[in-house]
Amino acid sequence: MQISIGLGKDGAEERLEKRGISRRDFLKFCSTVAVAMGMGPTFAPAIAKALTAPNRPSVIYLHDSECTGCTEALIRTNKPFIDELILDTISLDYQETIMAAAGEAAEEALHMAMKNPNGYICVVEGAIPTAMDGLYGTIGGRTIFEINKEVLAGAKAVVAYGTCACFGGLPSAEPNPTGAKGVNDCFGSMGITAINVPGCPPNPINLVGTLAAYLGGLKIDLDKLNRPKMFYGVTVHELCERLPHIEALEFAPSFDSEEARAGWCLFKLGCTGPMTYNNCPKALFNDVSWPVKAGHPCIGCSEPNFWDNMSPFYEN
């Protein structure tokens, strides 16, 4: 069964126009992605070309042990054409949360996507349970471990989206009864290596930018944790709008203080920005804000084991 998420008969621009989305608006979005990638707005046409190429691979999106927050962040972005992007432009052919098919029809859709002559990219959301031979997570009578092993082995590229898929996230927090692990920890010894796009949730721009870079044939420089440096190359602290206040030793004494509202540094209230690599202050969420700007300390959600290493998030 071929579900209706894949390639359409019309060109990408025609499909965008049918949804009331102008090329100008699409290029504006591509410019946002390009800037987040550190390429500058002049790189927008190249992003657009990569995302709308006629012979691009399928994207298979697997859900494992997670809360679906990463998908929520992706589909609830304020970009008016994100539905076109995730449903058609990047050829997303299997995604359990948003696809209409269910049961055997959904399984058939997965198998069809894996047979795409142009190959497929696999995006993984969620950790993989490994305890008790993986029995803590099963779909259709098969363990999540088994399904991931099969799908990832045939992928042209693998992207772990969200901290659960990257490092185990909340499911792997102590005492970790399900033996939850991230993709690379689980399958690295089998020759499967994922590009990590962590966050709880990550900014959707980071996923779209990673896919665009891959589809455009660009070299993706990774840090020691396999995160794209273009999104995770500097600390939240270095990009934070409150940085001048820490340099002036101006620390907010409490969340409800005038100093906190005036933008003073939240480090003494538990902010882990100096230890966290992410582009939140630069990319923002829905072009509006991010946790520290809104008055909440960074909790280090893009770092390994942050639920254990960064907590307690509040002293009281």
Give pLDDT tens digits for 283-310.
Answer: 999 889 999 999 999 999 999 999 999 8
Give pLDDT tens digits for 196-248.
Answer: 999 999 998 898 888 888 887 888 999 999 999 999 999 999 999 999 999 89
120 pLDDT above the threshold of 60: yes
Q: State the pTM of this model.
A: 0.85
Class of domain 234-309: few secondary structures
Q: Answer whether 12-231 and 234-309 agree in fold.
A: no
Domain ranges of the chain: 12-231, 234-309
3-state secondary structure the chain: CCCCCCCCCCCHHHHHHHCCCCHHHHHHHHHHHHHHCCCCHHHHHHHHHHHCCCCCCEEEEEECECCCHHHHHHHCCCCCCHHHHHHHHCCEEEECCCCCCCHHHHHHHHHHHHCCCCCEEEEEECEECCHHHHCCCEECCEEHHHHHHHHHHCCCEEEEECHHHHHCCHHHCCCCCCCCECHHHHHHHHCCCCEEECCCCCCHHHHHHHHHHHHCCCCCCECCCCCEHHHHCCEHHHHCCCHHHHHCCCECCCCCCHHHHCCCECHHHCCCHHHCECCHHHHCECCCECCCCCCCCCCCCCCCCHHHHCCCCCCC
The larger pLDDT score, comparing residue 274 to residue 311, is at 274
Query: 12-231 adopts what CATH topology?
Result: Rossmann fold (3.40.50)
Give pLDDT tens digits for 54-83.
Answer: 666 788 999 999 999 999 998 877 664 555
